[in-house]
Amino acid sequence: MADTQANPELPDDLRGFFWDHDSEHLSWDRSRHTIVLRLLEKGGMHAVRWLREHVSDEEIREFIVRRRGRGISPRRLRFWSLLVDIPRGDVDEWIEAARHNPWQNRTAR
């Protein structure tokens, strides 16, 4: 069960995922969206556990659905869809839409 405390401290071992952010300004209050998205996309099992301790599966599901999977690779999107119960058909649709989006493929060379 997620402990949705108001301002959890990001553990030092997860701060490496945010190498491009000033750690002085990286806080749950100001950077929640950034933290959640980065850990959804890049986090290992420790990050997954930490995220699920602080964010409910329902909130993670709503976050992903609201974004229609944007910012999350197909592989990671399928992983999270299994964990938080997002219908496969929705995920298939988002992945297919991303394949046809020229901005999605702008750096794929």
The dihedral of CA 78, 80, 82, 85: what is its sign?
negative
pTM: 0.81
pLDDT reported for residue 109 = 44
Concatenating the DSSP letter of every residue in 18-87 gives: GTTS-TTT--HHHHHHHHHHHHHHH--HHHHHHHHHHS-HHHHHHHHHHHTTTTS-HHHHHHHHHHHT--
Confidence of residue 103 (pLDDT cuts 50, 70, 90): low
Q: How many structural domains are present in the chain?
A: 1
Within-domain flag for 1 = no
Within-domain flag for 38 = yes
Tell me the two tokens of residue 18. 């945010």
Compute and round to an integer the Cα radius of gyration of the chain.
14
Within-domain flag for 67 = yes
| Statement: residue 14 has pLDDT above 90 | no
In the chain, the percentage of residues whose pLDDT exceeds 90 is 57
Within-domain flag for 104 = no
Within-domain flag for 7 = no
pLDDT reported for residue 22 = 80
Cα atoms in the 13 Å half-sphere on the side-chain side of 34: 17
Tell me the two tokens of residue 48. 């997954």
More confident residue, 101 or 3: 101
Within-domain flag for 5 = no
Within-domain flag for 3 = no
Within-domain flag for 28 = yes
Per residue in 42-67, pLDDT tens? 999 999 999 999 999 999 999 999 99
Could you list the residue range(s) of the whole structural domain that residue 43 is in? 12-99
- What average pLDDT score do residues 77-98 get? 95
